Every structure is written in C-alpha cells, then in structure tokens.
Amino acid sequence: MMAYPECEMERYTCRGQCDQQKNNGVSRQEDEDEENFWDYFGLLQIGPESFHNPHQSTGNENCCSRNVLRKQRHWQKIISAKKCKRKYERERRKAKHAEKKDVIHQLSKRDLKVIAKGRLLDAKETGPRLCIDLSMTSHMTRKEINRLASQIRRLYGSNKKAQKPFWLYFTGFLKNSPIYEACLRMNDGFLNYHVDATPDSYLDLFPLGTIVYLTPDSENALEEIDPQKVYILGGLVDESIQKRLTFQEAEDKHLQTARLPIQEYMIKNVNAKNYHSTILAVNQVFDALSTFYETNSWEEALKAAVSPGKGYVLRDSAL
C-alpha cells in the first residue's frame, strides 16, 4: 500500500501534540481550557467593538485575528489528518479483502449464475454428454433411493461449478416414481436443474455407436473423453453388492463398455480392514470424469474421486 507523505506528516504532528498534552498533566490542560475560553470570549467581543468603533484599530484586534487564523489552521490540520487516516484505513481494508479472496473484482451471485448457465448450454451443443440411467431403481430399497438422490445433487453441483461441464441427461426418469419424489424432497430447486430429464430410455435417444456404458466390471480402461460420445452411468446404489448388474445391462444390449483406470494408476494400500473396492458412487465417478476433462490427468482425476477408504492410493504416493 502506498503511503502519503503529507498525511503521514500531519498524522505525526497530531500524535505529537496529543502526547505533549498527556505529559503536561491535568493542571496545564485546565490552563489551556481556560485560555481557550477567554480567547473565544475575546472573539465574541470583536464583532460589537468593530461595529461601534469602525475607525479604531488596536493591537488587541490584530492579536485576536492572529489567534483566529492560528486556530483555524490548527483545526484544518486535524481534520485533514483524520480524512487521510480514514482514507488510508479504507484502502488497507480493501487490499486485505482482495488478498484474502485472491480476486480484484468479486462477481455477484447473479453474474455467477448467468456464467454457469452459459457454460452448461455450451456443453449441450458441443459436448461432452453424460447420462444417468435411472431405470434400475426397482432393484433398490427406499434408503438406497434416498442416497442416490443425494448423489445426484452432489453431481449436479459439481458440474455447475466446473469450468468445462458436461451436459447431463436423466433417462428412465418417471414422474411420481420413488426417485422422482426423493429428488424433489431432498434437492432444493430440482425442477430448475439445467438437464434433459425424460422417461425414455437412453437407447431411444442416442445411436448405439455413440454410447459408452461405464461399469467397474468392464475389461476396457477408459483412456480419454470423447465429446462425440455419450457416457452412461447406471443410477444404482446397491448396499447388497449385486455384482456385475450394470455390466450385464450393457452386455445384454451389446454396448461398448469402459471403466475408470483405477488399476492402471493406483495400487492397493494396506489397511486394517483389508478392504479394497473399485466401486464408486455416481457423483464420485463424475468427479473423476470432470477432473480428467479439465486437467487431462488421470492421476489428478483419481486423486479427486477415489477416497482413501476404498483401499487404493496412487502409485507415486506409495513409493
């Protein structure tokens, strides 16, 4: 922050005068108050005498005039110093706030919403596209459906904040179904989500050649994200661990499948429970896809998506 020399000089002058008054003691303060009183009293006598004696010029009048000018200059210095101090404090607070936020200009919430909406609509035109297949909720309990609704909320929130978002589809999404009611109940503003929600199957929306079904049981590791492809995630929370359910869904429909490259970039980590799992929640899979699409690094993507509780760590961090 730049300092202002004139303000600093006046501030030090005022500070010195205050210190001097404190050191002189109470008696001197009373003397000065008395002197100021008689000075102001003398000033009150200037006006009438001047009017009654227009041709009279005395030394007292000159003395009073000098006192008036001296006091005016004194108070002007104090006022100027206070203004400079307030200005300095405002600039200091602004600089501290900008440093804390690490921004020069803070956008309003309305501006941020407009920017986020623009990014989402751009993704609708240019891709990439991600589809959540919600047709398998018949395999789930009420508790699992509620968990899936919560994961959808996190997924949408992450996508809205992303610099390079996906365009989202919710397929097999029947109105008044348990998952529909759970999303309305648990996700504020759900009906205003910028997504394509439809009761139709993804097979009716996209050509088979563009579909890549993401399942942890696939033998094919996902290497890149193609904006021309549509990536399908099975909307499934399965606490009973029905193995290969999503993989069987894709196999029955003769779809291309892929999985996150967890085994290629991560290794099993020794833990007390000896637990290792490559099955991730819907929002965790999306976090991996979104991070990779922005950074083009699977290490960063898997670090963001695979929690330590899954029993896997990056190869480099294990060395």
- Distance (Å, whole) CA 256 – CA 260: 14
The tens digit of pLDDT for each residue in 119-150 reads 998 998 888 999 999 998 887 899 999 999 99
- β-strand partners of 257: 213
Residues 6+ apart with CB under 8 A from 186: 146, 149, 150, 153
Inter-CA distances, 38 with 43, 72, 299, Å: 8, 16, 83
Per-residue pLDDT band at 39 (split at 50, 70, 90): low
Per-residue pLDDT band at 27 (split at 50, 70, 90): very low
Whole-model pTM over 0.85: no
Query: In the chain, what are the domain boundaries?
Result: 5-101, 124-318
Chain position carrying tokens 């929640």: 281
Nearest CA to 33 out of 21, 23, 15 is that of 21
pLDDT above 50: residue 12: no
Q: Identify each DSSP E strand in the chain by its residue range.
A: 129-133, 167-171, 196-197, 211-214, 230-234, 256-258, 266-268, 312-314
The tens digit of pLDDT for each residue in 300-316 reads 999 999 988 888 889 87
- β-strand partners of 197: 170
Which fold would CATH assign to domain 124-318?
Alpha/beta knot (3.40.1280)
The count of other CB atoms within 10 Å of the CB of residue 11 is 18
pLDDT above 80: residue 99: no
The count of other CB atoms within 10 Å of the CB of residue 238 is 17
Mean pLDDT across 72-90: 83
Residues 6+ apart with CB under 8 A from 317: none
Chain position carrying tokens 């942890």: 216
What does the DSSP assignment read for 106-133?
Answer: PPPHHHHHHHHHHHHHHHHHH--EEEEE
Radius of gyration (Cα) for the chain, nearest Å? Answer: 37
pLDDT of residue 45: 44
Mean pLDDT across 198-206: 95
Mean pLDDT across 81-86: 84
